[in-house]
Every structure is written in C-alpha cells, then in structure tokens.
C-alpha cells in the first residue's frame, strides 16, 4: 500500500513513516483498521475524550526527541525469575531476550509469523480493538493494529510457571515505535505479564487480551521514566465467566502518557480490576481513560487510580462503568484521586456511570486534595522530619492502588520504585 | 524538665486568646495532672508544646531541659525528648505500624547523632514492648491506627511512647473513650515507664485515670489559666464537687 503524502493531511503525514504490512494473516485486519482510522481521523480538541489531553505530539508526523533516563538503580522486576523479551526502540532484540520456548505457554513474535496461519491470533488481532471503537473512538489503537511492526503473540494453555516480561528499552532520541500484542488464556490458564521501560521517544502500543473461562491474568507495568517520552497505550480485554483480569500501571515521569483500557466482562462471575499510580513532577501529563462494560451477571469491577502531582504536573482520569441490561448483581467500584503537592498542579476527572440493570451496586468517587496537615503533624510529632513525613503520606495515598497487585514481591518491587522517585526529590 | 512561663496563645488568624498566661514547672521524674472543664485550653496547650501549626504564641516561654521548645520544629521537639499521646490518634492507611515506628525511632536517633537501630534489633525491641501492652503481631503489621478500636489506638500511643523513650510525656485525654479494663491496661503501660528521669503531664477531665496513674501534683485549668494547684486530693475534690466550686472560689 502506498500512501501519498499530502502536507495538509495530518493522518497521511503520521502514517507516512510506517512500513505497511500488506501480506500475511494480519493483512485484512490491518486494512480494516486503516479504513477505521481514516474514517475517524486523528483526535482533536473537539473530541469529547481529548478535551483534557492535547494529542498534538501523538498526531505529529515525527516524534519529539526524548533522551533516555539513566540511573544506577537496579531495573524493576530484575529479581523476578521471568521470561525476558526485549524490544529496543520497538525492535526485538534476540541477543537480550530469553529463548521463547516455555512450558505451558507459546510465545511468538508478530514479525516472525506474519506469513504463518495462527488461527487463535487471527481471531483476536484487531478484533477487540475494532469492537472497542464504539461508542468512543480510539484512533491510536486503530493505528497500532494497522501499522504495528512487531509484538508478541502469547497463547497460554496452562499455568505459566514464570511471568512473561516485556522490556522496552529506548536508545534513539527520536524513535517512533508501534507494537501490537495478542494474548490468549485458555480456560483455567494463568499468566503474569510484566511490562517495563519507555519503549521509544514516541511509543504506541496495543494489547488485546482474551481471558478464557476461569483463567487468571495478572498484568503489572512500570512505564519508562524518560522525562520527554510520549506514550499512547491501549489495553483491550474480554473476560469470560469466573475469570480474573488484573492490571496495574506505575507511571513516573514522561511528558505525555495516555493509557486507555477497554474491558468487557462477558461471562457470569468475572472479575476485572484496573489500577494505576502516577507520579508527576513538572512537565508531566498523565491520562487514564477507562471503559469498563458489565455484560454478564454477578461480575465485579474495580478502577483504582491515584495521581501525585507537583510543579505544574497534570493528571486526567476519564473512567466509565457501563452496566448493560441483564447484567444483574453487578458490583462496580471506581475511585480516582489526586494528591496535589502544590497549587500549580491540576487534576481533571470525568467519572461516568451508565446503568441499564436494576439490581446492581456501583459506586464511584473522585477527590483532589493536598497533604493532610493533621497526619503530617502526627508523623512529625513522632520525630519524622517533614520531607520523610510527606513521603510516607504519599505512599499512604497510593497504597490502595498498590494493593491491587496480588503478588507480594512484585508489589514491594513497585513500592521500591515509588520510594526511589520520592527520595530523588528535594 | 518542662518549664512554662506566662504562655499566651491565640489561634492564627484570630486574635482571640486561648491561653492567657500559663505557668507550669514540671520537675524530672514527677507526674503532673491538668484537669479542667471543656474549652479551658488544656488540649491547646498540648498542641502548642508539641508544635502544631495554626497557633500563635504572643507572649511567654516554654523550655524542655533548658532548650527553647517554641523555636523548634515538631520533629526537633520529639528528638529533644517530648512526646504527645494524642486524644485522637491519626489513621495512616498504607503505612505499616512497624514501618512508621522504626522510621520515627531512627529519625530521632539520627537527629541526636545516635546510630540507627537495625531491622532485627527493632523487631526484638518492639515485640518486648508490645507484649506488655497486649498488642499482638497482627496489630503491629496493620497500617497505623487503621481499623483500630478506640482502646487499640490508645494502647498504640503508649507503645510508641515506650519505643521512643521520651523524657517528657504529655497525655491528652488518653482515658477518653476507654472502658475500665482498657484504661487499666493503658495506665499500667504508663506506670511501667515512670522513672526518675521521665516526667508526665496527664491531661484529663476525670479523676478516674488518676486512680491508676497517681499524680504528684494536680492543676486546675480554666479560661486559659492554671487557677489552682494542689496535691492528689484536688482531683478527688473535683470528682466529688465538680469544677463549679473551685471556679467560684477562684473568682471570689
């Protein structure tokens, strides 16, 4: 496919730098995604879900440069026994990755198997994304389906003994990477998926996850700390009966981060939790946009988002719970909170509930506040210096989100990152 | 130990005086009690001494072992040996009780130029102290005061006192909200800490706490001043006759 570069057409400009895959089993899905993207166009400020977050840097033909973050710290998840799959600026690095053969799971690279016939992946690739485009358009998700250069396909048939760890390194100052992952958990299967690193100067990702009946999917992510990086990530999941889906994201630094999640609870008794802790200092724009759909009986969903903001950092939360007709006994919970460490920072929240069943319990709350002076006084009266006391209260503030990480060691690992971030600040 | 001289205090941004010239001298190893009706300024005094924001000292001094308390930050006062057991201990979700206490102890030690206590040493220390206050391991692991009953919160205050080993302990209505058994437990905890080098200022409405923590000196506070000082009998007088008689006597 060749796209004529028309200077006045931002979408054509945005797509011009991508090599378009026109052969193999993903080709039809890519063509459809491109048609969807062309029809919806790139987002603008008039789009309801882009009012708080300016998409300019994501729309631009070329990424803005971003230096990689250097630190002496041990990388997150380093102590975890895991299957490591490394991408550098979006390009798979065989030298840094482990062999992809693991008992209980099949891991393949999208770039390797474009020509092969993989039915389960073919059924998923672009499918959840396409479905998740309504009622809210998600242009960068369509872009990821259309133009992804690589990604992983993970098919979990049993209980994966080790977590799969996607490591996204960033070296080149103006790299622009697009990855698309497809994950299928068979009934009763279990997988812990770890993701960390900035990925690229501009990083667009899409992950489609199909959680089969009674399966359990744990996702823990630490987004890269490169100050000037831009990221648009998408997580589309469908959760079958009695299945468990859990996702936690830690974001520290980054010029712009838009994390979208579209989760459908399709089988009775399914559980979906999505949580995030974001810490921003200065030029930091962090946006969580979540769409949780209850389309079965007796499902439980939780959205827990905490943002700590200072020096003009901005946090956005747009979270929806849709309870469809017949989704009785739904238990939906949503909380989005910000801790503003000064008066320059901003938190913009748009919680939404839309309920068409009559026997449901849904609650949502959103708050914005400063450090609790009484608690600060209490800690200081015990001898804890002001700075340390504030740090403890920040950890206290994000604790509810961290508690969503089921594994103790992984939770502690993430908490260490938070402490590190705080310790680096005066 | 603690010397308060002619202390005048008002709320910040409100010129209304709350303390109107409090003078108090607490010697090493003694237990003083302050009683008084609601609104007399008892709690304000404890806040001002421990350094809470929102109050303005307009006149007077307060020193701890000769050091000017009012010039110090709250954490410096703590390191200097002052401890306030709160009337309403604060809940801090997500911060473990042990983490909190170890952070506090080591911060104080650091300020005083003493070596930090290792995790192992601390564990041993806190287990010993917790046992006598009937605080179990589970309560130590829980977030600070979260989901604690009224009695547990007060016992936790005394545990902090036992671990931090302050020289001057102020107990702000530690008996409020406690049943008889819980009060006994708290009082035992306090009594176990009494020694020649440690002083106490016990703020209370009622004489009953003083049945368990026997004071050397009892003060009556009213309208921002100490209006009467006496021995333990003074607390009994209040218990029997209320504050009205004493206040009338002072005014008369």
Which residue, chain included where needed, has tokens 């979260």? Answer: B146
Asked whether the beta carbons of A250 and A410 are under 8 A apart, the reply is no
Position A3 scores a pLDDT of 52
- Supply φ then ψ for residue A106, to 5 degrees: -120, 120
pLDDT digits (tens, 9 = 90+) for B98-142: 999 999 999 999 999 999 999 899 999 998 888 878 888 888 889
Considering only CB atoms, which chain A residues are within 8 Å of B113?
Answer: none
Q: Testing the interface with B: which of A277, A375, A383, A415 to mutate, by most B Cβ within 10 A?
A: A383
Asked whether the beta carbons of A236 and A141 are under 8 A apart, the reply is yes
Q: CA of A402: which chain B residue's CA is closest?
A: B94
Could you tell me which residues are beta bridge partners of residue A315? A286, A347
Q: DSSP for A140-168?
A: HHHHHHHH--B-EEEEE-SB-SS-EEEEE
Cβ distance B108 to A383 less than 8 Å, yes or no, reads yes
Q: Testing the interface with B: which of A304, A308, A381 to mutate, by most B Cβ within 10 A?
A: A381
Distance from CA of A393 to the nearest CA of B (A): 8
Position B243 scores a pLDDT of 83
Considering only CB atoms, which chain B residues are within 8 Å of A384?
Answer: 75, 103-104, 107
Say how far apart CA B218 and CA B205 lie, in whole Å.
12
Q: Write down the domain spans for chain A.
A: 11-371
Where helices occur in B65-118 by DSSP H, the ranges are: 74-79, 97-111
Residue B36: which residues within 8 A CB-CB, separation 6 or more? Answer: B42, B205, B220, B221, B222, B243
CA distances from A183 to A26, A110, A122 (A): 15, 11, 11
Question: How much is the ipTM here?
Answer: 0.95
Cβ distance A392 to B52 less than 8 Å, yes or no, reads no
CA distances from A36 to A28, A31, A32, A41, A392 (A): 12, 9, 6, 8, 47
pTM of the model: 0.91
Q: CA of B144: which chain A residue's CA is closest?
A: A396
Residues of chain A short of pLDDT 70, as ranges, are 1-8, 115
**Alpha-carbon dihedral angle through residues B6, B11, B14, B16, given to the nearest 10 degrees:** -40
How many residue pairs from chains A and B have C-beta atoms closer than 8 A? Answer: 80
Q: CA of A403: which chain B residue's CA is closest?
A: B94
A373, A375, A384 member nearest B103 (Cβ): A384
Position A12 scores a pLDDT of 92
Angle B43-B46-B48 (CA atoms, 0-180°, nearest 5)?
Answer: 110
Cβ distance A395 to B77 less than 8 Å, yes or no, reads no
Residue A98: which residues within 8 A CB-CB, separation 6 or more? Answer: A83, A84, A85
Asked whether the beta carbons of B81 and B168 are under 8 A apart, the reply is yes
pLDDT digits (tens, 9 = 90+) for B23-62: 999 999 999 999 988 888 999 999 999 999 999 999 999 9
Q: Testing the interface with B: which of A382, A389, A396, A400 to mutate, by most B Cβ within 10 A?
A: A382
Position B182 scores a pLDDT of 85
Say how far apart CA B158 and CA B247 lie, in whole Å.
32
A382, A386, A399 member nearest B164 (Cβ): A382
Pairing of strands B2-11, B55-64: antiparallel
Cβ distance B93 to A399 less than 8 Å, yes or no, reads yes
Residue B211 vs residue A306, higher pLDDT = A306
Distance from CA of B126 to the nearest CA of A (A): 16
A378, A383, A395 member nearest B86 (Cβ): A378
Say how far apart CA B41 and CA B222 lie, in whole Å.
7
Cβ distance A400 to B164 less than 8 Å, yes or no, reads no
Could you tell me which residues are beta bridge partners of residue B229? B219
Cβ distance B107 to A398 less than 8 Å, yes or no, reads no
Pairing of strands A91-92, A83-88: antiparallel
Considering only CB atoms, which chain B residues are within 8 Å of A370?
Answer: none
Position A6 scores a pLDDT of 46
Say how far apart CA A299 and CA A240 lie, in whole Å.
10
Position B177 scores a pLDDT of 81
CA distances from B6 to A165, B38, B108 (A): 66, 21, 29
Position A330 scores a pLDDT of 98
Asked whether the beta carbons of B140 and B126 are under 8 A apart, the reply is yes
Cβ distance B90 to A383 less than 8 Å, yes or no, reads no
Distance from CA of B174 to the nearest CA of A (A): 15
Position A8 scores a pLDDT of 65
Q: Residues of B numbered 71-130 whose beta carbons fall under 8 angstroms of chain A's beta carbons: which are they? A: 73-75, 77-79, 83-84, 86, 89-90, 92-95, 100-101, 103-105, 107-108, 111
- The 3-state DSSP class for residue B131 equals helix
Considering only CB atoms, which chain B residues are within 8 Å of A423?
Answer: none
Cβ distance A385 to B107 less than 8 Å, yes or no, reads yes
Distance from CA of A407 to the nearest CA of B (A): 16
Position B132 scores a pLDDT of 79
The conformation of residue A48, written as its DSSP 8-state character, comes to G
Cβ distance A384 to B107 less than 8 Å, yes or no, reads yes
Q: DSSP for B26-47?
A: E-TT-EEEEE--TTSSHHHHHH
B74, B103, B105 member nearest A392 (Cβ): B103
Element spanning A318, H or E: strand A314-323
Distance from CA of B169 to the nearest CA of A (A): 12
Distance from CA of B222 to the nearest CA of A (A): 26
Q: What are the tokens at A309?
A: 């903001």
> Which of A306, A223, A292, A285 lies closest to A261, judged by CA?
A292
Position B239 scores a pLDDT of 82
């Amino acid at each position: 496919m060749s796209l004529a570069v028309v200077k006045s057409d931002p979408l054509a400009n945005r797509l011009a730098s991508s090599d378009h895959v026109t052969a193999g089993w993903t080709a039809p899905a890519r063509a459809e995604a491109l048609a969807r993207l062309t029809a919806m166009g790139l987002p603008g400020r008039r789009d309801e879900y882009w009012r708080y977050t300016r998409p300019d840097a994501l729309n631009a033909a070329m990424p803005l440069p971003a230096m990689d973050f250097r630190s002496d710290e041990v990388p997150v998840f380093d102590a975890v026994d895991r299957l490591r799959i490394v991408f550098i600026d979006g390009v798979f690095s065989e030298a840094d990755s482990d062999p992809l053969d693991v008992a209980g799971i099949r891991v393949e690279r999208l770039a390797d198997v474009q020509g092969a016939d993989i039915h389960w992946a073919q059924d998923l690739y672009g499918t959840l994304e396409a479905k998740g485009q309504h009622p809210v358009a998600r242009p960068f998700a369509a872009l990821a389906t259309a133009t992804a250069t690589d990604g992983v396909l993970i098919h979990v048939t049993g209980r994966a003994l080790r977590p799969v760890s996607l490591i996204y390194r960033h070296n080149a100052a103006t790299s622009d990477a697009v990855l698309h992952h497809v994950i299928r958990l068979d009934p009763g299967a279990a997988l812990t998926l770890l993701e960390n690193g900035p990925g690229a100067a501009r990083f667009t990702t899409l992950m489609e996850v199909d959680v089969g009946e009674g399966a359990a999917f744990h996702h823990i992510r630490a987004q890269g700390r490169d100050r000037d990086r831009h990221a648009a990530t998408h997580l589309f999941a469908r959760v079958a009966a009695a299945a468990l889906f859990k996702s936690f994201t830690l974001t520290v630094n980054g010029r712009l981060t838009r994390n979208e999640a579209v989760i459908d609870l399709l089988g009775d008794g399914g559980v979906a939790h999505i949580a995030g802790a974001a810490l921003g200092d200065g030029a930091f724009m962090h946006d969580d946009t979540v769409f949780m759909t209850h389309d079965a009986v007796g499902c439980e969903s939780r959205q827990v988002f905490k943002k700590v903001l200072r020096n003009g950092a901005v946090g956005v939360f747009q979270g929806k719970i849709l309870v469809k007709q017949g989704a009785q006994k739904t238990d939906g919970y949503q909380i989005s909170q910000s801790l503003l460490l000064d008066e320059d920072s901003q938190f913009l929240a748009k919680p939404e509930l839309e309920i068409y069943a009559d026997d449901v319990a849904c609650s949502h709350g959103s708050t914005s506040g400063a450090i609790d002076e009484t608690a600060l006084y209490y800690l200081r009266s015990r001898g804890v210096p002001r700075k340390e006391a504030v740090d403890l209260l920040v950890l206290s503030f994000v604790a509810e989100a961290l508690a969503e990480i089921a594994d103790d060691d992984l939770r502690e690992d993430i908490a260490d990152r938070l402490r590190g971030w705080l310790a680096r600040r005066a | 130990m603690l010397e308060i001289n002619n202390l005048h205090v008002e709320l910040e941004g409100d010129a209304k005086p709350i303390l109107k010239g409090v003078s108090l001298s607490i010697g090493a190893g003694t237990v003083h009690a302050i009683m008084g009706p609601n609104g007399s300024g008892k709690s304000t005094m404890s806040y001002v001494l421990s350094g809470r924001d929102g109050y303005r000292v307009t006149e007077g001094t307060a020193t701890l072992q000769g050091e000017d308390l009012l010039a110090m930050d709250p954490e410096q006062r703590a390191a200097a040996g002052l401890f306030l057991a709160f009337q309403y201990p604060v809940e801090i979700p997500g911060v473990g009780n042990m983490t909190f206490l170890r952070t506090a102890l080591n911060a104080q030690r650091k300020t005083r130029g003493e070596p930090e206590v290792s995790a192992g040493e601390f564990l041993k220390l806190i287990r010993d102290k917790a046992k006598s206050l009937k605080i179990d391991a589970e309560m130590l692991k829980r977030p600070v005061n979260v989901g604690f009953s009224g009695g547990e919160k007060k016992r936790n205050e005394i545990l902090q006192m036992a671990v931090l080993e302050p020289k001057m302990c102020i107990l702000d209505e530690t008996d409020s909200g406690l049943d008889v058994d819980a009060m006994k437990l708290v009082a035992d905890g306090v009594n176990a800490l009494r020694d020649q080098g440690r002083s106490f200022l016990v703020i209370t409405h009622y004489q009953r706490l003083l049945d368990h923590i026997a004071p050397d000196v009892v003060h009556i506070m009213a309208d921002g001043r100490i209006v009467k000082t006496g021995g333990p009998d003074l607390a009994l007088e209040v218990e029997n006759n209320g504050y009205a008689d004493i206040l009338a006597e002072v005014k008369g």
